[in-house]
Amino acid sequence: MRRTGAHDHIRGDGRRGHHHGDVPAVYSAYVPDHDHAHDDEALSPIEDNPIWQQDNVTLHSVGIDIGSSGTQVLFSRLHLRRIGEDLTTRYVVVRRQTLYRSPVSLTPYASAEHIDAEALGSIIDQAYDAADVRPSHVDTGVVILTGEALRRRNAATIASVLAERGGELVNATAGHNMEAMLAAYGSGAAKASHDTGLRILNIDIGGGTTKLAVLDRGRVVTTAAIQIGGRLLVVDDQDRIVRLDPAGRRHAARAGYAWEVGDVARPEQLQKVAEMMADAIVAALTTDPLPDDVAGLYLTERLAEAGPIEGVMFSGGVAEYVYDRESGTFGDLGRPLGRALRRRADSGALPFPLLPPGECIRATALGASEYSVQLSGNTGYITDPDALLPRRNLQVIRPHYELGETVDAAVIAAAVRRHLVALNVGQTGADVALAMSWNGLPSYERLISFARGLRDGLADRITQGRPVYLILDGDVAMTLGRLLQEELAVTGELLVIDGLNLRDFDYIDIGRIRFPSNTVPVTIKSLLFHQDPRYDRPTCDGDPL
């Protein structure tokens, strides 16, 4: 059995890694005499230096955005550098370069319930060909389905297939909060908030939904989504309705129109619908308590209270009209909605200063491509990389407990067992990632008790020979791994990585160890499809292609 791990810097301040706004992470691990993938690029003589290569990582990333109305693909190159602060080995992105942006194509639908898999596959293949990129060149990335697209019955299956074909660690994701976060990064709102110190609201309006994200000093602190978009209703050249999503029908009804597909919707009538949608967005952000009809538009919980908003940015396709960067019309509500929102921003009805535009229609794809890697390269402990890596779609479970000055092994074991039962993990027999919180002094007495609790709580799985995947938010992975194997005789395969804060119902992909930087890419994602505002948790089912 091959053990891995660089020397373990133990930090006892309980500092946690990022979640939600910082999707993936990379953890440092050392594996001698092992097959590996190289992540260095020979750009100049210094890049050939082995020491430089250990401190610098280049990743090639893809973002595939399949939205309600548009589909696009972006390829990026990310340069990450290791920093030496607080005795950690954390990597940060120091340069991002967009290599290729595909044209924005209309998302193809075979019917009201299915995405056209063949047509969509052709769009993606053309983008890879035009960029001269093969899937083997791609290190990481995201296939994200958003808005009305993720409501299609085969959405989950299509996303998974595209992810498997897209590259080694390209993952499928969907979910309004995830899209809100990616749009906030891709639009430039996160950078603007970081650079100015302002608390910025990013409003991303696509074809089917409006995503909201509040950023404080560059960090996403809360997200939400409402069912308002520019392509919920589409008319042809004769003003006849050719597409009417359920949400579009509801918005028309709020404006006094009982439309069906085939009915005539004149421009002044579409304008009235758009004006009401714009008023609903303003009300959703400024009114408390919400009117019932506006409250019913929320697809998520409302934005959490984050303090006064000091500026607002728009992104998404409708933002092109908010900022007067597009004047054409496409038979939908995009132009009237965008112009209605601009009037409300200029008049003060939307009571936040309007900030200059960043990326608009490409914000989510840029976020998926360029901001899907957040590196936190702490040391890890991996017994056999060939057996344990790579892994996709590991469900995360996070037991609840408190760590005091003295760690009680029985309390830890009971919390682990209780949570395995609560989430029905024991019945499925599937591998899981156990997310554990660690804080306080990393003394031997506290760590060995913590390790005993983990061993006892996972005893059934260990006896069955199942691998153990442990994710910690404190920087003690190497020491904990050694205690479990060398002192507590846990003989099965074991992976322990640290510096990351995960939640129940997260899913993660873990990539192969990369040399010479000795890093392990870990991508946190959501797998929420068929989102419906009537239910608390969406489902993850999907029909065959």
Q: Which among 209, 286, 303 has a CA at the least distance from the CA of 251?
A: 209
**Contact in structure between 353 and 255 (CB atoms under 8 Å):** no
Checking DSSP bridges between strand 24-28 and strand 381-382, what pairing results, if any?
unpaired
- Per-residue pLDDT, 539: 33
Which of 143-157 are b and which e, b meaning 16 or more Cβ less than 10 Å from the residue's Cβ? bbbbbbbbbbbbbbb
Phi, psi of 369 (to 5 degrees): -85, -50
Per-residue model confidence (pLDDT) at position 199: 96
- Give the chain's residues under pLDDT 50: 1-37, 86-87, 374-378, 527-545
Torsion over CA of 116, 118, 119 and 123, rounded to 10 degrees?
130
pTM exceeds 0.75: no
State residue 164's pLDDT score: 79
Q: How many CB atoms within 10 Å of residue 330? A: 16
For residues 155 and 543, give the distance between their C-alpha atoms in angstroms, rounded to a whole number. 8
Distance CA 435, CA 502 (A): 6
Burial class (CB in 10 A: 0-12, 13-18, 19+), 308: exposed
Separation in Å, CA 205 to CA 147, 184, 276: 10, 12, 15
- In this structure, the strands spanning 140-145 and 56-66 are parallel
Cα–Cα distance for residue pair 432/468, rounded to 1 Å: 8
The span from the CA of 31 to the CA of 382, in Å, is: 8
Residue 90: the pLDDT is 55
Task: Tell which residue, 150, 66, 165, has the closest CA to residue 108.
Answer: 66
Query: Quick check: helix, strand or coil at residue 50?
Result: helix
Length of the chain: 545
Rounded to whole angstroms, how far apart are CA atoms 190 and 188? Answer: 5
Spell out the alpha helix ranges (H) of 434-523.
Answer: 444-457, 459-463, 477-482
Nearest by Cα to 67 from 182, 237, 171, 215: 182
Rounded to 5 degrees, φ, ψ at 472 are: -115, 155
Residue with tokens 């690029």: 41
pLDDT in the model for residue 16: 34
Both tokens assigned to 511: 């990539």
Tell which residue, 90, 30, 96, has the closest CA to residue 59: 96
Identify the CA nearest to 480 among candidates 411, 389, 404, 380: 380
Specify the pLDDT at position 70.
86
Q: pLDDT tens digits for 173-205?
A: 767 887 898 899 899 999 999 999 999 999 999
- Report the candidate in 69, 159, 162 with the shortest Cα–Cα distance to residue 108: 69
Place of tokens 């083997």: 136
Query: What is the structure's pLDDT at 469?
Result: 95
Helix (H) or strand (E) holding 495: strand 494-497
Q: How far apart are CA 80 and CA 27, in angstroms?
A: 13
Q: Residue 91: what pLDDT?
A: 62
Rounded Cα distance, 75 and 128, in Å: 9
pLDDT in tens, 371-424: 655 444 447 899 998 999 888 878 888 999 999 999 999 999 999 999 888 777
What was the pLDDT predicted at 406? Answer: 95
Query: CA–CA separation, 165 vs 288, rounded Å?
Result: 46
The token pair at 90 is 């954390």
Question: What distance in Å separates the CA atoms of residue 62 and residue 133, rounded to the nearest whole number?
Answer: 10
In 3D, which of 7, 110, 107, 115 has the Cα closest to residue 365?
A: 107
**Could you identify the residue written with the tokens 């029905």?**
424
